[in-house]
Structure 1
Amino acid sequence: MKSRTTEIQRPQLADVADRAGVSLATVDRVINRRKGVKDRTRRHILDVARDMGFLSAEDAELYGAVRPLNVTVLLPAGTNPYLRLLGARVKGRIGQSGVNDPFLRCFFIESFNAAALVKALHKNADWSDGIIFFAIEHPEVRDAAAEIAASGTRLVTIVSDLGNSPEVSHLGLDNRAVGRTAGLLIGRLAKTTTGSVALVAGSRHYRAHSEREAGFLSILDEMFPDLRVVGMREGHDDAAENYRHALDLFEQVPDLVGIYNVGGSSGGITRAICERQREELVFIGHGLTPDTRRAMLDGTVDAIFDLDPDTLIDRAIQLLSLPVCRPRPLKLDIYFRENLP
């Protein structure tokens, strides 16, 4: 065990900075693996830190290797089971990462709050070589993204993008096609060619949700003109809000034949369907999670659209190192009770 005297005499960051002839902030960047330090300067600081005993020879060698990317993942907070699963997968990788894997951090921020997203982007830009995030389509978010990208931090939006922001890469589905597919399924599976269908979304501030809505409306207009579309309701991917929306729909729309949950947290809708015994409805949602799996097995949910979380994470991290801003859309997985993995 080291004595208290030995601990007191151990070199500090300030001692390393003084001996290396650089600022304390520069040493802090090197030791905490942040970007913004030239490779020659970084190696000089590590040599000094090793010679002074601040770092062991093994630690200095590890720090001296080519620095992996620092990657921050920003996800919306809330009760959306798919986003929580995605966050769990990211955090699982943090604990299992190897020496040459990216350094990952994952934070949940207030959902549907543009100001909170802007603050989180700026806060993490200094440490991060790349930031992966769910985009809220808002002028302040676009401005922040453009500023951060211009400073050298690579940005990748997942699932929902920023529209016309060429400096920001995007990875996700062809959401208009997703909406059209949902409309096709409801039109084909409904027990009648007439009646009403309803849309529930997280928010139109997510471009993905508005694009799915547009696709859904277009195919019903083309192929199922006798199905009337009830105006989309925003449940903010919250199970309790979605539950209340479903109950209101049952009371206000007596000829309701189908519901498409454009966003997440389908559990609130399935709860309402079961309580009111409306299992004859066609219900389609997003995200294969334990709750939607159970609802498919008991027949409450007819189909689930899914984007594999591990594939999404892998491809997003890869995209941070590639010059391609707009790769091809990811593959949509469609699950029914009979083909559940």
Structure 2
Amino acid sequence: MSSDKIDTGRTNRLPLMDDIAVRAGVSLATVDRVLNQRKGVRERTVSLVLRSALEVGYLSQEEYDLLVRPRPPNVVFLLPNGTNPYLRLLGEKVRKRADMRSRDSANIRCFFVDSFAPSALAAALRHHARWADAIACMALDHPAVREATAEIVARNKKVVAIVSDFAPAVRSAYVGLDNQQAGRTAAYLLGRFCRHQKGDVAVIAGSRIYRAHTDREMGFQSLVEEMYPELSIIGVREGHDDRDENYRHTLALIDHHPELVGIYNVGGSSDGIARALKERGRSEDLVFIGHGLSADTRRLLLDGTMDAVINSDPDLVLSAALAACGELSGDGSPPLAPLLKMEILLRENLPL
């Protein structure tokens, strides 16, 4: 803060930070931390220092009003690394929002981590919690991750689950789809597209350790059994949202299951599945449902390889996550984040 202030008339000199310290009964270092909005000072002390700065004339009313506002939160997004185009797109949008930051908006950072390694993810949560007031992440629902989350929340910081829920007993909020509903919707679409054709259907997941993928699989299976008994689910392959793994799984499915009529990809990297379908000449007759609108799934919808994409708008994911990270309700608890709207996208209703 500048000390170039108008003389109050009480002295022949401009008020200094020392005057604030004396009036507030705190150290000069504390005054410096408060005026520069650094962390580590109790709210009561912050209020006392700012009021003293106003009274001695060090701050104008306008400057006081700016500083008395709550400091914008430091927010870290932790996303799984790999070849999942939807998550890369979400990461790009997070970083773009960080670059557009204004004085009153959150300080945002985004990192890609190995989320298939629970110990590495738990270490990343603890590391970034040193700087962050809140962490938004798509994480594994694993004991090591739950333990790290509980430690962070106990320090009055927030951990917000995005896309896939985890640690529901301790995390601060969840932002994403109702994933069982998404799985049932995928099953309904696939069954309708198959027109009651008898045959096998396959499910490809990133990893069942993601709650979103497990919930989607459960929803899919329950509706197939309920409505389409002529379809047989031949098991779940885990491709870890990697296009090359998904490609190899799909080749094996086609080669070993000649009655295959449909594939549901509950995770990402649908381009790997599509490559195998095209190589085996099955891109036109096999029903393919997936998740996440990105450049690759848009192209696959347009050329007819994919029949439908279940999507949650990444801009809405980002905005809802930031709201959950930064807002408090009247009693000081995090707000209940609503489930996001599910979009069912076909070739004919793709957004521009």
Same fold, judged at TM 0.5 (above): yes
2:317 is aligned with 1:307: no
Q: In the alignment, what sits opposite 2:80?
A: 76
After superposition, give the CA deviation of every residue in 1:78-130 in whole Å (9 maximum; x if it has no partner): 11000000000000011111110111111111131111111111111121111
Match of 1:290 in 2: 295
Deviation at 1:263, TM superposition (A): 0.2
Write out per-residue CA displacement over residues 278-316 of structure 1, whole angstroms, 9 at most, x where no aligned residue: 021000111110111111110000000111011111111
Cα distance 1:43–1:109, how it changes in 2: closer, same or farther (>3 A)? farther
* Paired letter, 2:293: L
- Measure, in 1, the Cα distance between the counterparts of 2:145 and 2:115: 13
Q: CA deviation at 1:177?
A: 0.6
CA contact (8 A) 1:171 1:326 kept: no
Aligned residues between the structures: 310
SS in 2 for 1:225: coil
Give the match for residue 116 of structure 1: 120
**Residue 327 of structure 1: which of 337, 343, 351 is its match?**
337
1:35 maps to 2:45: no
> Which one of 99, 106, 118 corresponds to residue 102 of structure 1?
106
Superposition deviation, residue 67 in structure 1: 1.6
Query: Cα distance 1:169–1:106, how it changes in 2: closer, same or farther (>3 A)?
Result: same
Does the CA-based 8 Å contact 2:122-2:144 persist in structure 1?
Answer: yes
CA RMSD of aligned residues (A): 2.7
Partner of 2:6: none
3-state SS, counterpart of residue 184 of structure 1:
helix
Q: CA 1:28–1:205 in structure 2 vs 1: closer, same or farther (change >3 Å)?
A: farther
Report the CA distance shift for 1:326/1:65 in structure 2 as closer, same or farther (over 3 A).
closer
**Does the aligned pair in 2 maintain the 1:238–1:265 contact within 8 Å?**
yes
Asked whether the equivalents of residues 135 and 160 of structure 1 are also in contact (C-alpha less than 8 Å), the reply is yes
Q: Cα 1:75–1:167, aligned 2, differ >3 Å: closer, same or farther?
A: closer
How far 1:327 moved relative to its partner?
3.2
Contact 2:33–2:41, Cα closer than 8 Å, also in 1 = no
CA distance in 2, matches of 1:227, 1:85: 34
Q: Is the 8 A contact 1:30 1:42 kept in 2?
A: no
Change (3 A) 1:20 1:261: same
Q: Which moved more, 1:167-176 or 1:325-334?
A: 325-334
Contact 1:259 1:283 in 2 (8 A): yes
What is the CA–CA distance in structure 1 between the aligned matches of 2:308 and 2:224, rounded to whole Å?
18
Change (3 A) 1:270 1:69: same
**Which structure would you say has the larger Rg?**
2
TM-score, length of structure 1 as denominator length: 0.84
Residue 193 and residue 204 in structure 1: after superposition, are their counterparts in 2 closer, same or farther (change >3 A)? Answer: same
Which of 316, 321, 341 matches 2:321? 316
Does structure 2 conserve the Cα–Cα contact (< 8 Å) formed by 1:34 and 1:128? no
Q: Name the CA distance, whole Å, in 1 between partners of 2:191 and 2:207.
A: 24
Q: Say whether the 8 Å CA contact 1:75–1:134 is kept in structure 2.
A: yes
Partners in 2 of 1:312 and 1:101 — Cα distance? 17
Q: Distance in 2 between matches of 1:168 and 1:66?
A: 20
Question: 2:284 aligned with 1:274, yes or no?
Answer: no
SS at match of 2:71: coil
Q: Structure 2 vs 1, CA of residues 29 and 93 (structure 1 numbering), >3 Å: closer, same or farther?
A: farther
Find 2:231's aligned residue among 218, 227, 232.
227
Q: Return the offset for 1:178.
A: 0.4
Counterpart secondary structure, 1:131:
strand
Unaligned residue ranges in structure 1 (runs of 5+): 1-18, 49-58
Unaligned regions of 5+ residues in structure 2, if any?
1-25, 54-62
Distance 1:94 1:247, change over 3 A: same
Report SS of the residue matched to 1:229: strand
Distance 1:267 1:164, change over 3 A: same
